Amino acid sequence: MKQANPKELTMPFIRITLGRAASPAQKQAIAHQATALIAELLHKRAEVTAVHVDSTPAETWCIAGEPVAAALTPTHSDIYITAGTNTAAEKAAMIAALHRLLGETLGAVPAASYIVIHEIAASDWGYAGLTQAARRQAASVL
């Protein structure tokens, strides 16, 4: 019985919310480069990586109860991965690289621009109608 490599079966989802309007080209660049980072740093399959980049009106974003300075673009990113498929060092590298990418693409971002990595149990999510746990089980039988 072949033992499945958990990283071969994982797929991430990334939602990046911007606190200012961004051009379609900027959003596409962020999505493309975030996918490359996920593949390189977290060893995920680019072909099943989904990225959603959206913008909210600047007036809806406050830090410390105050509107964000006009020169800054606030961001919040949620990355969803299968639990147990990455080390703390890999996740730290991803957070640092995504923060750099956002700053390089959008200009200055406030320090309170959070990147959260959510680790989801393999039984609790999937794609194409199969959970990650089912994929692992099927791969181990081959």
Question: In this predicted model, what pLDDT tens digit does every residue of 61-85 receive, in sequence order?
Answer: 999 999 999 999 999 999 999 999 9
What's at 107, amino acid-wise? G
What is the reported pTM?
0.86
- Going by C-alpha positions, the residue among 68, 84, 88 that lies closest to residue 122 is 84
Q: Which residues contact 80 (CB under 8 A, 6 or more apart)?
A: 12, 13, 14, 118, 120, 125
Q: pLDDT digits over 83-115, tens only? A: 999 999 999 999 999 999 999 999 999 999 999
Name the CATH code of domain 6-141 (choices 3.30.429.10, 3.90.650.10, 3.40.10.10, 3.40.50.300): 3.30.429.10
CB 54 within 8 A of CB 18: yes
